[in-house]
Amino acid sequence: MKSVLFSRFFILLPWILIVIIMLDVDTRRPAPPLTPRPYFSPYPVGRGGVRLPLRRGSSGRVAEKRNESRPQPQPQPLLPTIYAITPTYSRPVQKAELTRLANTFRQVAQLHWILVEDAAARSELVSRFLARAGLPNTHLHVPTPRRYKRPGLPRATEQRNAGLAWLRQRHQHQRAQPGVLFFADDDNTYSLELFQEMRTTRKVSVWPVGLVGGRRYERPLVENGKVVGWYTGWRADRPFAIDMAGFAVSLQVILSNPKAVFKRRGSQPGMQESDFLKQITTVEELEPKANNCTKVLVWHTRTEKVNLANEPKYHLDTVKIEV
């Protein structure tokens, strides 16, 4: 009898041990995050909300350290959302421009892309593109009236206003969340550092823009932390001699100035920025960024018109390919 009991005990013993080990392993698993991330991102958030690529493979020092100490749920500081309003229109280089932009924006934490097509309807190309872009976005459209589609007239007035209207509508019933708006034309080049700089905008911030106004750069002139003038080669008489890529506005300022919009009437090319900024701020109030406006972090690159001289009129390709 005793030997039967003994042999049963030894048969059961390994199973009991396995169950104990399994229970122990399970309790060591880190707790799931308190709030789910809004969308997948392989990047942790770094200073100023630029996503830092995770280290992989042999450089696994950081990962090892993480395994040693159990990760604690960290309270995330409320990062102001950056709203980028991009007017865009159909042309051969459109998808290439948007791809370049998305590749930059994807590396910026808490960025919401407001893409506004200059068109009577949302195009399939842009809809498909945004669906795969991996970015929080809003897809709007408004056509520029034909009479305004002429060389020498300001561009993208209606599209930027549509973006502003969406932003105001979205926040009309809630207390303004921290946010920063900037106008990101689809053909410019943006450094990641620019987003770190603009994220701390209190009202309206400004910085230099490269390759604009017939010079290598334009910039606000700063003395004792205040803007006192403009380094520019073109129409220095502008109240705010700055390109659209050279400033950001806090969401609070956009909401507390509900009538501030881009105007067609009386507006000349190059004056849109001044006409808009005049409605919401003064030169004295501007917050200089980029080391007192001494660093170029955005470039007014303009894409060369593409040469399609050899596109066939007849004998087209056998497949239809989106470019």
Which range binds ligand UGA by CB under 6 A, 30-38, 45-53, 74-82, 147-155?
A: 147-155
**CA atoms of 154 and 268, how far apart (whole Å):** 6
Span 296-315, contacts to Mn ion by CB under 5 A = 302
- Give the whole-angstrom CA distance, residue 148 versus residue 155: 8
Please confirm, yes or no, whether 273 is among the known catalytic residues: yes
Identified binder of ligand UGA from the candidate list 49, 85, 88, 190, rule CB under 6 A: 88
Q: How far apart are CA 140 and CA 137, in angstroms?
A: 10
Cα(187)–Cα(306) distance, rounded to whole angstroms? 13
Residue count, binding to ligand UGA (CB under 6 A):
20
Active-site entry in 273, 284, 287, 311: 273
285 forms part of the interface with Mn ion (CB under 5 A):
no
Residue 181 as a binder of ligand UGA (CB under 6 A): the answer is no
Binding site annotation covers 118? yes
Report the distance separating Cα 158 and Cα 53, nearest Å: 37
Count Cα neighbours of 233 within 13 Å in the Cβ-side half-sphere: 10
Of 82 and 109, the one with the shorter C-beta distance to ligand UGA is 82
Q: Is 89 annotated as a binding residue?
A: yes
CA atoms of 282 and 81, how far apart (whole Å): 24
Residue type, 225: G
Looking at 43, 122, 123, 187, which residue binds Mn ion (CB under 5 A)? 187
**Element at 128 (helix H, strand E):** helix 124-131
Q: In the range 233-272, which residues lie near ligand UGA by CB under 6 A?
A: 243-244, 269, 272
| Residue 210 interaction partner, one of ligand UGA, Mn ion, none, beta carbon < 5-8 Å per kind | none
Is 161 a binder of ligand UGA (CB under 6 A)? no
Asked whether position 193 contacts Mn ion by CB under 5 A, the answer is no
- The C-alpha atoms of residue 251 and residue 167 are separated, in whole angstroms, by 8
Q: Does residue 158 bind ligand UGA (CB under 6 A)?
A: no
Pick from 196, 289, 302, 202: which is nearest to 242 by CA?
289
The one of ligand UGA, Mn ion, none whose footprint includes residue 244, by CB under 5 to 8 A per kind, is ligand UGA
Q: Which residues inside 11-50 make contact with ligand UGA, applying CB under 6 A?
A: none
Amino acid at 188: N
Does 155 carry a binding-site annotation? yes
Q: Residue 153: CB partners within 8 Å, gap ≥ 6?
A: 269
Q: Do 88 and 58 contact (CB within 8 A), yes or no?
A: no
CA distance 84 to 239: 24
Residue 182, helix vs strand vs coil: strand
Told to check if 206 binds ligand UGA by CB under 6 A, we report no
Window contacting ligand UGA (CB under 6 A); options: 61-69, 155-163, 219-227, 279-287: 155-163
Contact residues toward Mn ion (CB under 5 A) are 185, 187, 302
Contacting positions for ligand UGA (CB under 6 A) = 86-89, 118, 144, 149, 154-156, 159, 185-187, 243-244, 269, 272, 300, 302
Give the annotated binding-site residues. 87-89, 118, 155, 160, 185-187, 300-302
Please state the residue numbers annotated as binding site for Mn(2+). 187
